[in-house]
Amino acid sequence: MFGAEIPIIQGPMLGASTPAMAIAASTAGAIGAIGAAGLAPAALGQTIGEIREAVGDKPFIVNLFVLDPAAPDPAEVSRAMAALAPWRAELGLPEQAIPNKWAEDFAAQFAVLVETAPPVASFTFGILSAEQCARLKARGTRVVGTATTLAEARAWAAIGADAICASGFESGGHRGTFLRPVEESLVGTLSLVSAVRAQLGLPVIAAGGIADGASIAAVLALGAEAAQMGTAFLLAEESAVSAPWRAALAGQDCDSSRLTRAFSGRYARGIENRFMREMAGAEIPVYPIQNALTQELRAAAARAGRADMLSLWAGQGVHALRPGRTADLITAYWAQARATLADTAARFA
């Protein structure tokens, strides 16, 4: 896919993946990705330049969140800050100031994408206009739209996307959902990949619950062009995952995670912890408001080794997690995937 030797995409994970991870993945023959939504336009351009310089003509993916400018309601922000105050106090943080920025400006980030023209750009949380898609394609950038439902995949096909990232219910981190409420957009990877492939003529990237070589083999048999793995790289040497998050991932399995809005205002899948449970009843503003309001808290919790108030994003494939260099993980996953396909085909020949 996209000219890579190995049909594995290292999933973009804002806060967990790093440019070093993307470089390692692409250099190893797979496809690296950066979760770039948190980068200011100048830093975005610089990061794309660094990765391109490191990987040469090998493909890599730049992932952004399609967001409208935040429009916070002051009363709602006050209530959200009040709900977070006890948590901040527990960590010894001072009274919260209203953030001076809620999120990076997507329009400015998009302009950098068009200017720098990375090999592939993928998008979540929203959809491009047909005109935006055409501008990227005219620059030679392949456009991947993230879909959590068949309807979202159809919407991306309609605006001219080159491929669909079919992100199943099992996926860790934020749901990419943008058409309907998340509660009505929960489709398993197996069904979503199968339906998108059957109904649309576009290449499909499977994402969600792909934890090891056997599950890569499974989604390739299902007809996916590539397997996107995020959780499987959380313990990679190049990962930015904090020490308490890393520690909390040990011994977890497919039962351990839940969808929560508590940390960011948008549903995301992570290991269940105290913050998720105790904030379940609170009034939580939409993304990126709550995300910005909890940023300092999460950073402080990570420093303090407090997994109970930290976002512990992980998918349902977390049981298969292993540490190692990104390049070695890719080599191992791909060898296992090929051996699985050969063995399974031989067994039922």
315 binds its own copies (CB under 8 A): yes
Burial-class residue 332 by CB neighbours within 10 Å (0-12, 13-18, 19+).
middle
Which range touches its own copies (CB under 8 A), out of 84-92, 126-134, 144-152, 239-247?
Answer: 144-152
**Cα–Cα distance between 176 and 178 in angstroms, integer?**
6
Which is nearer to its own copies, 129 or 199 (by Cβ)?
199
338 binds its own copies (CB under 8 A): yes
- Is residue 244 within 8 A of residue 24, CB to CB? The reply is no
Site residues for its own copies, window 220-259 (CB under 8 A)? 220-223, 253-255, 258
Enumerate long-range contacts of 135-139, CB under 8 Å, 24 or more apart: 137/162, 139/114
Which is nearer to its own copies, 116 or 256 (by Cβ)?
256
Judged by CB under 8 A, which of 32, 208, 285, 288 binds its own copies?
208
- Peptide linkage before 288 cis (omega within 30 of 0): yes
319 binds its own copies (CB under 8 A): yes
- Residue 259 amino acid letter: L
- Is residue 104 within 8 A of residue 39, CB to CB? The reply is yes
199 binds its own copies (CB under 8 A): yes
Which range touches its own copies (CB under 8 A), out of 37-45, 82-90, 188-196, 242-250?
Answer: 188-196
Which is nearer to its own copies, 115 or 255 (by Cβ)?
255
Q: Coil, strand, or helix at residue 165?
A: strand
Q: Quickly count: other Cβ atoms within 10 Å of residue 251's Cβ.
A: 10
Judged by CB under 8 A, which of 72, 160, 188, 324 binds its own copies?
188
CB of 147 to its own copies, least distance (A): 10
- Is residue 193 within 8 A of residue 224, CB to CB? The reply is yes
CB of 189 to its own copies, least distance (A): 5
* DSSP state, residue 263: T
Judged by CB under 8 A, which of 149, 242, 264, 311 binds its own copies?
149
136 binds its own copies (CB under 8 A): no
